[in-house]
Amino acid sequence: MSLFSSIKRDIKAAFDHDPAAVNILEILLAYPGFHARQFHRLNHRLYHWHIPLLPRVLSHINRFMTGIEIHPGATIGEGFFIDHGMGVVIGETAEIGDNVTIYQGVTLGGTSLQKKKRHPTLGNNVVVGTGSQLIGDITIGDNTKIGAGSVVVNSAPANATVVGVPGRVVSIRNPDTDTTEHLPDPVGERLDELEKRVSELEKHLVKAKGSRK
């Protein structure tokens, strides 16, 4: 895809994912996620040309101007959209597929200090909710949605919904039948059991107090 076509797809992604988008001029002038993406195009090219220092300096300027930090080494697909974007951090070895949407406060971070793949890989059509933290060399499958505030440290399959701390798969959609399978939530079930047990103990306690009067 040519550079012009790729930028046009970024503009289309803004219209597709943000109902507040009014016109192209507004996106070009007032969308920090769009600006950060275009900065990264240049930085990524310089990074792969092995030009020292300059890509990181430009990346720092990008963060200062947009509030979004994208390492020059990160690989980003077509139709990428960052909504609002303040506080987004994307690490060096992160790989992002096509038509991915990321909201503000998201981190694609690493845990290893070794020079190897240490940041997440996102498939196509992934949506990452506000404030989510995806950590380590994990893979998020195509069409998966990450709920706001989730902390994801394990890979997730395609067509899944992931929520919680730590993030867990709560449902998987079958794209062929457009049906959703809701998976058991052992943590939630255990909390329900504890709540019932506490309620029973409170009732016994009330009866015990009544018998003493």
Domain spans of the chain, in order of start: 3-182, 185-213
pLDDT at 213: 60
pLDDT at 53: 95
In this predicted structure, the answer to whether residue 209 has a pLDDT above a threshold of 80 is no
Give helix 54-66 / helix 32-48 axis angle, nearest 10°: 170
74-104 pLDDT, tens digit per residue, is 999 999 999 988 999 999 999 999 999 999 9
93 vs 137: CA distance, rounded Å: 9
Q: How far is CA 169 from the centre of its chain?
A: 14
Residues with Cβ within 8 Å of residue 29, at least 6 apart in sequence? none
Q: Report which of residues 17 and 182 the model is more confident about.
A: 17
Question: What global pTM score does this model have?
Answer: 0.83
25 pLDDT band, cuts 50/70/90, is: very high
In this predicted structure, the answer to whether residue 3 has a pLDDT above a threshold of 80 is yes
Residues with Cβ within 8 Å of residue 110, at least 6 apart in sequence? 91, 92, 93, 118, 119, 135, 136, 137
Candidates 1.10.645.10, 3.30.70.360, 2.160.10.10, 2.60.120.920; correct CATH number of 3-182? 2.160.10.10
Q: Report which of residues 126 and 210 the model is more confident about.
A: 126
Residue 6, Cβ density class (10 Å: 0-12 exposed, 13-18 middle, ≥19 buried):
middle
pLDDT at 28: 93
157-208 pLDDT, tens digit per residue, is 999 999 988 899 988 988 877 777 777 666 677 777 888 889 888 888 887 7
Angle at 73 between CA 103 and CA 56, to 5 degrees: 95
By percentage, how much of the chain surpasses pLDDT 70?
Answer: 96
Residue 3, Cβ density class (10 Å: 0-12 exposed, 13-18 middle, ≥19 buried):
exposed
In this predicted structure, the answer to whether residue 46 has a pLDDT above a threshold of 90 is yes
pLDDT at 184: 67
